[in-house]
Structure 1
Amino acid sequence: MTRTFGLLAAVGVLIVAVLAGWFLAGWYGSAEIEEDTAFIVPSGATLTSTANKLAQVGVIGDADGFLLRAKLLGSGDPVKAGEFMLAANDSPAGILDTLQHGEVIRRFVTVPEGMPSVMVHDILMAEPLLTGAIPVPEEGSVLPDTYDFERGESRAAVLARMQVAMDRAVAELWPRRSPDTVAKTPQEAVTLASIVEKETGVPRERRMVAGLYSNRIRQGIRLQADPTIIYPITKGRPLGRRIRQSEIAAINDYNTYSMAGLPKGPITNPGRASIEAVLHPADTDAIYMVADGTGGHEFNDTLAGHNAAVERWFALRRERGEM
């Protein structure tokens, strides 16, 4: 009798050991993924809904078994919303840990300095991992920068971050402005900065260009900035041809050849550096500038000096076969 009882006890222990091994292997052994797999946890997802989705896409074999093991052997932390990369041959335990404590995959969209709003709209609408439609944002409302986003995030949410970033940048820079700035309001600063942004692609010139235009505004001289002619025609897209005389003479709220002072609003989205340049313009007497052939400009404070610089520029263009 004793021998029989001992045999039964041994069999029972063996069965328990086998079941325990099976139970643990189902948690710490490899799951069903043979290669790295992206997995999205929707906002508001629970552990149960996440387990069901993992089973539906074939990452795990059984949602109920995963849930039981997770509750007995896993962390009690909630799963995070977002997109995660699940490693090939990872265990269910590792998968749960990734969804609870891993890094959400971040993706990026870049708005270069001087990109007009119509093109910001284009790049956001062209991003296939974003959702929903947006209108063209107000010109000058977006701060050029690189922004991260999650797969499935709304375009409106990403655009809102871009606009909040501009609001914060202006709110930070405006109180520290120099008394030499001609901008009377933050909006005027962004408007003038948008012209500076379009007039030079050379970082070291920004404050000089800002100083030149500041001088013109103080002296009541028209800005005569070519980009302000183009903006009402294309809304910031490239013109693709030379400016016509009729366009130079056109009267509208932007053309600074036919009006004094600033246009009614920005002509692009200026970067932080251009806003800073307008708020801290160079101390200069220059009121003229012309391209110098190197990508920058030659600045002058007299018409005679400017005319000579223009002749040098034209001669260089003729030499290059551009005229």
Structure 2
Amino acid sequence: MRSILLFVVSLGLLSVLAVGAGGYLAWSEVNRPGPHVSDTVVLLEEGSSVARIAADLETAGVLRHTKLFIVAARVKGVSAQLKAGEYRIPTGITAWDLVDLIVEGKSLLHYITIAEGLTTAQVIKIVNAHAQLIGELTLTPDEGSLLPETYAFTRGQTRDQIVNIMMKAQSAFVDDMWDDRALELPFASRDAAIILASIVEKETGVASERAQIASVFVNRLKKGMRLESDPTIIYGLTAGEPLGRGLRVSELKRETPYNTYRIRGLPPTPIANPGKDAISAVLNPAQTDDLFFVADGTGGHVFARTLAEHNRNVAQWRRIERERKAAKAANELNTE
């Protein structure tokens, strides 16, 4: 009887030791660095189960066995908290820590940049060409309804989603600025503000000038003067694509809805998508008496309150143009 009892006790001890040894080996394996020798990007699809995620990780070469990940997720109690996304899996990460990485859900970010002054058609081309966006673009945003900005997104976002974000971003920005706009502006709607902001955007690339450019147009509108903006004419001719040459006299005289040398007030739509600075400039223009501006030869503009002063500035600009053409011709002659 005594020998039987000893046998039973010994068997129990061996079982405990075996379980302990097995547990130690399992714990060691789940905390062993993954097999990959360099950081690896893995895309985990939306709606994937724990088993599917584990299989994708194993296929990508960042996990030795699916069971390691599944067991770690269950022990942590986070099987339902794993998030889809695109992840950069660092070298040396263990299955135990890999679970935490995917629960945290910090997917890789991709970016799309929309420059100020692009037309909506040009923005759509950029969106359609971006390789990390998916799906066909079915939205047809209006001209001037997108806010130029750099947008971050995760792989798997659709083109419709990113364009919708751009539209909402512009609406939110204008709404935030609207109640703080200057008094007695010569327009009463947000749509009109965007139209004027698009003209300011296309007239200058110098940020410090935008509020003064805006003041010229605001002053002209208040006086019932035509805006006489070249970019509006170009938009009427090319829908915002580069003209590739100077405007002709016949084009200045042509009757179109966008020829602000012929029409009074604003054109019917924006001519581009204005950025935040241009919108802000229109809603809070500089306080000036300026009614005219012309290029100054340095990339900026010179402003004038009277036509006589403006004509002198134009004459100076014409001299600069002639001198540049002469210098260019001389350089070409010397290089032949």
Structure 2 length as normaliser, TM-score?
0.89
Instruction: Tell me the distance in 1 between the aligned counterparts of 2:214 and 2:77.
Output: 60
Alpha-carbon deviation of 1:168?
0.7
* Alignment counterpart, residue 277 of structure 1, candidates 278, 281, 300: 281
1:189 deviates by 0.4
Match of 2:104 in 1: 101
Give 1:206 shift.
Answer: 1.2
Q: Tell me if 1:83 matches 2:86.
A: yes
Provide the rounded CA distance (Å) in 2 between the counterparts of 1:76 and 1:316: 71
Partner of 2:269: 265
Q: 1:178 to 1:15 in 2, by over 3 A?
A: same
Which AA in structure 2 matches 1:59?
A: V
- Any conservation in 1 of the 2:84–2:105 contact (CA below 8 Å)? no
1:172 alignment counterpart: 176
Question: Hey, what does 2:25 align to over in structure 1?
Answer: 22
Helix, strand or coil at the partner of 1:85: strand
**Map of 1:31-70 to 2, 5 A cutoff?**
31-70=34-73
AA paired with 2:253? A
SS in 2 for 1:321: helix
Aligned pair partner of 2:319 in 315, 319, 322: 315
Report how far residue 146 of structure 1 moved. Answer: 1.3
Post-superposition Cα deviations, 1:148-179, rounded to whole Å, max 9, x if no partner, equal 11112101101111100001111111222111
CA distance in 2, matches of 1:69, 1:303: 79
Q: Deviations over 1:55-112 (max 9, x none)?
A: 3333323324431342125645601222111111311111111000152211211112
Cα shift at 1:44 = 2.9
Q: 1:73 to 1:265 in 2, by over 3 A?
A: closer
> 1:321 & 1:29 partners in 2: Cα distance?
71
Residue by residue over 1:239-298, the C-alpha shift from the partner in whole angstroms, topping out at 9 and shown as x without a partner, is 222222332222222111221110001001111221121112222222111101111111
Q: Structure 2 residue aligned with 1:112, among 110, 115, 119?
A: 115
Matched, 1:151 2:155: yes
Alignment match, 1:200: 204
Tell me the equivalent position of 1:212. 216
Q: Distance in 2 between matches of 1:65 and 1:104?
A: 22
Q: Partners of 1:228 and 1:150 in 2: how far apart?
A: 37
SS at 2:294 equivalent: strand
Aligned residue type for 1:142: L
Equivalent residue, structure 2, for 1:126: 129
State whether residues 42 and 60 of structure 2, in contact with CA within 8 Å, keep that contact through their aligned partners in structure 1. no
Calculate the TM-score normalised by the size of structure 1: 0.92
Structure 1 regions of 5+ residues with no counterpart?
none
CA contact 2:147–2:274 (8 Å) conserved in 1 = yes
Between the aligned residues of both structures, percent identity stands at 37
Instruction: Give the whole-Å Cα distance in 1 for the aligned partners of 2:74 and 2:295.
Output: 70
Could you tell me how far apart the structure 2 residues matched to 1:69 and 1:111 are?
43
Q: Return the alpha-carbon distance in structure 2 between the equivalents of residues 158 and 28 of structure 1.
A: 39
Deviations 1:116-157 (A, max 9, x none): 212211211111010112255311101111111111210110
Which residue of 2 is the match for residue 230 of structure 1? Answer: 234
- The alignment covers a number of residue pairs equal to 323
CA RMSD of aligned residues (A): 2.1
- For residues 47 and 253 of structure 1, the distance between their equivalents in structure 2, rounded to whole angstroms, comes to 60
Aligned-partner Cα distance in 2 for 1:31–1:165 = 42
Quick one: distance in 2 between partners of 1:247 and 1:224? 12
Contact 2:236/2:258 (8 A) holds in 1: yes
CA contact (8 A) 1:211 1:284 kept: yes
Q: Is the 8 A contact 2:110 2:132 kept in 1?
A: no
SS at match of 1:55: helix
SS of residue in 2 equivalent to 1:112 = coil
